[in-house]
């Protein structure tokens, strides 16, 4: 695939220069590293445990991480969840989960902790290249919520999943109205979790405030712009958080969209 398309190879190689492989099996790690080196000049490091993987992720700042689903000493679901909800610079890095277990439970479990792609073992070089092309040529929006942190699950690319879409927003696509509805659902959920998960709730509110400001500019919506600015100001970095001011800002935002549009 890449050999026949030098342009694609160049794009993928530029996007995936730093690679982290988490696998307790040295032979499997070596094989994948050799396949990745076919891209060109890439920096590759490996680890066999979740702790070592997180430590390497801090220093390497990988663009892409390959991780085992679950094996002795290494649980890829735990690693991915800690990465996504932590403070590492690479917390939004591409994560590809490799496993011989391809049940629907394993696939959806990987998707729901923030994995980008699912790669079934044993895999060919062509399988690997298709996943690399998917994450670099078709990037998905980043979702910063409370219950979920990771790439947009509605556009999960895994070739292992053949089922139908279930949410109304899946069928609506990614227009401004759908983006607005999703952002406001996240705002409402984050407000409800300020006590139970204050760090992630506040992080989600800050990101949604920025997204809503961009949406307001794109839509030419002055009321939305004003409400987004109020949310940005009320949820800023200052301590302590003024809950009353924040509650007013959130109520003003939620009031812009009918309750029926915020249904999950």
> Which domain range does residue 127 map to?
6-149
Indicate the helix (H) or strand (E) that contains 20: strand 18-22
Residues 6+ apart with CB under 8 A from 86: 54
Average pLDDT value over all residues in the chain: 86
Cis peptide leading into 240, omega within 30 of 0?
yes
Nearest to 19 by CA among 76, 60, 72: 60
Residue 18 has pLDDT above 50, yes or no: yes
Q: Do both 116 and 198 map to the same domain?
A: no
Domain count, the chain: 2
Residue with tokens 């949820």: 235
Q: Do both 103 and 228 map to the same domain?
A: no
Confidence band for 31, pLDDT divided at 50, 70 and 90: very high
Of 113 and 2, which is predicted with more confidence?
Answer: 113
Domain end (from 149, 176, 201): 149
Considering the domain boundaries, does residue 157 fall inside one? no
Q: Do both 138 and 19 map to the same domain?
A: yes
**For residue 161, what pLDDT is reported?**
46
Q: Do both 16 and 132 map to the same domain?
A: yes
Query: What are the φ/ψ torsions at residue 24 (nearest 5 degrees)?
Result: -75, -10
Considering the domain boundaries, does residue 104 fall inside one? yes
**pTM given for the model:** 0.84
**For residue 204, what pLDDT is reported?**
95
Considering the domain boundaries, does residue 68 fall inside one? yes
Q: Do both 85 and 120 map to the same domain?
A: yes
- The 10s digit of each residue's pLDDT in 159-214 is 554 444 444 444 444 588 888 988 999 999 999 999 999 999 999 999 999 999 99
């Amino acid at each position: 695939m890449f050999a026949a398309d030098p342009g694609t190879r160049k794009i993928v190689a530029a996007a995936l220069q730093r690679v982290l492989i988490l696998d307790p099996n040295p032979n499997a790690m070596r094989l994948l590293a050799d396949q990745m080196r076919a891209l060109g000049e890439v920096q590759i490091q490996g680890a066999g445990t979740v702790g070592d993987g997180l430590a390497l992720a801090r220093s390497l700042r990988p663009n892409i991480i390959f991780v085992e689903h679950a094996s002795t000493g290494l649980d890829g679901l735990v690693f991915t969840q800690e990465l996504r909800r932590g403070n590492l610079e690479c917390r939004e890095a591409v994560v590809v989960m490799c496993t011989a277990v391809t049940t629907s439970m394993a696939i959806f479990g990987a998707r729901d902790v923030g994995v980008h792609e699912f790669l079934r073992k044993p895999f060919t070089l062509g399988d690997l290249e298709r996943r690399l092309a998917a994450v670099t040529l078709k990037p998905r929006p980043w979702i910063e919520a409370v219950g979920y942190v990771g790439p947009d699950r509605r556009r999960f690319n895994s070739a292992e999943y053949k089922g139908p879409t279930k949410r109304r927003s899946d069928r609506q696509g990614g227009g401004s109205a759908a983006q607005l509805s999703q952002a406001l659902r996240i705002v409402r959920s984050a407000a409800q979790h300020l006590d139970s998960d204050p760090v992630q709730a506040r992080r989600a509110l800050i990101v949604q405030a920025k997204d809503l400001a961009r949406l307001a500019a794109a839509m030419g919506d002055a009321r939305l712009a004003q409400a987004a600015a109020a949310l940005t100001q009320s949820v800023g970095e200052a301590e302590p958080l003024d809950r009353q001011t924040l509650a007013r800002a959130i109520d003003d935002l939620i009031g812009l969209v009918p309750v029926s549009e915020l249904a999950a």
